[in-house]
Amino acid sequence: MTSSKIILTGGAGLVGQNLAIRLKNSGHSDIVVIDKHRHNLDILRRTLPEITAIHADLAEPGAWQASFAGAKAVVMLQAQIGGTDYNQFVRNNMGATKRVIDAMRSHDIRHLVHVSSSVVQSSSNDFYTDTKRAQEILVIESGIPCTVLRPTLMFGWFDRKHLGWLSRFMKRVPVFPIPGNGSYIRQPLYVGDFSKIIISCIEQNITSGIYDISGHEKIEYIEMIRAIKRATGARTFICRIPYRLFHGLLWLWACFDKNPPFTTQQLAALVARDEFAVTDWPGTFGVPCTPFALALQETMNDPRYSNVILEF
């Protein structure tokens, strides 16, 4: 076991939950997770009761800053992904990042792994994309030795927003709508593989470089949905509907839900037809790429954690 402290900021989300499990399984014993989502933290505490879980808003000063003392590395995960309030994106993607950087400087922590996003190179122009670009610039210009990872769409255990939500929705409705023809290329990345890449950065002391981490399999959105249906055994009927109608339904949903799981901006990003470079990250980080079908089966049917997906 290694006792070097590792801080995961925004660590109760999709990547953080998976990363914490794999850090522990890799022999790391001093893991600190800071997140403002109490429900997600409670799930993490039940899954890994031995780690330190701190409920705090990183955009505000507080006692959480003292927890950085003696840390070897920080993995920056906090991000506002969805929503309709631009100010929340600025607050959580930029304001919180500035405070984390300040805390690292105060405690002289010289190793940062920043989880950026492939969207920083996208043609999209939305709240998430704009503030993730600004967040990455803040990290790079901080002067702290850092590795920048730009993953594509991720899926895996504890997936609330992406394939996990789609799988839950699929089981609840008789008809599953697909916008337009559904032939939008996706490059889903298994979060288990991505977690191992982060661990490789920490253990190999990789403290520089910008790395595009895309899924190695390119799959049309509609085929991805069909694969989820097969993996979950759902009986829903997959139906293509006109893009404008789909957009209108999302807009109507947002009128009643201030934190919708899927927004019109995310729909626009889905159909933007961005394709990202497939790089040799397995060779760079020594992490084999898990085939999509195998990773999907593990996500949906693993008896250890698949049941937790339902409440995440």
Question: Which residues, in sequence order, are CB contacts of 62 under 8 Å at separation 6+?
Answer: 56
Task: Give mean pLDDT, residues 159-179.
Answer: 80
Whether the pLDDT of residue 164 is over 60: the answer is yes
Whether the pLDDT of residue 137 is over 50: the answer is yes
How many CB atoms lie under 10 A from the CB of residue 53? 22
Phi then psi for residue 277, to 5 deg, are: -60, 135
The amino acid at 183: S
DSSP the chain: -B--EEEEETTTSHHHHHHHHHHHHTTB--EEEEES-HHHHHHHHHH-TTSEEEE--TTS-SGGGGGGTTEEEEEE-----S-S-HHHHHIIIIIHHHHHHHHHHHTT---EEEE--GGGGSS--SHHHHHHHHHHHHHHTT-S-EEEEEE-SEESTT-SSSHHHHHHHHHH-SEEEEETT---EE--EEHHHHHHHHHHHHHTT----EEEE--S--EEHHHHHHHHHHHHT--PEEEEE-HHHHHHHHHHHHHH-SS-SS-HHHHHHHTT--------HHHHHT-PPPPHHHHHHHHHH-TTTHHHHTT-
To the nearest whole number, what is the mean pLDDT of the chain?
Answer: 88
Higher pLDDT, 196 or 305: 196
Whether the pLDDT of residue 238 is over 70: the answer is yes
- Asked if residue 256 lies in contact with residue 224, where contact means CB atoms within 8 angstroms, the answer is no
Return the structure tokens found at 151: 């993953």
Return the structure tokens found at 264: 């019109």
Question: Which residues, in sequence order, are CB contacts of 155 under 8 Å at separation 6+?
Answer: 162, 163, 164, 188, 189, 190, 191, 295, 296, 299
In tens, the pLDDT along 48-75 reads 999 999 999 999 999 999 999 999 999 9
- How would residue 32 be classed by pLDDT, with cut points 50, 70 and 90? very high
Task: Give mean pLDDT, residues 19-33.
Answer: 95
In tens, the pLDDT along 69-125 reads 999 999 999 988 877 788 999 999 999 999 999 999 999 999 999 999 988 887 677
- How would residue 236 be classed by pLDDT, with cut points 50, 70 and 90? very high
CA distance 276 to 67: 37
Q: How far, CA to CA in Å, does 105 sit from each of 71, 111, 248, 260?
A: 12, 11, 46, 36
Return the structure tokens found at 270: 């889905």
- How would residue 310 be classed by pLDDT, with cut points 50, 70 and 90? very low
CA distance 184 to 173: 23
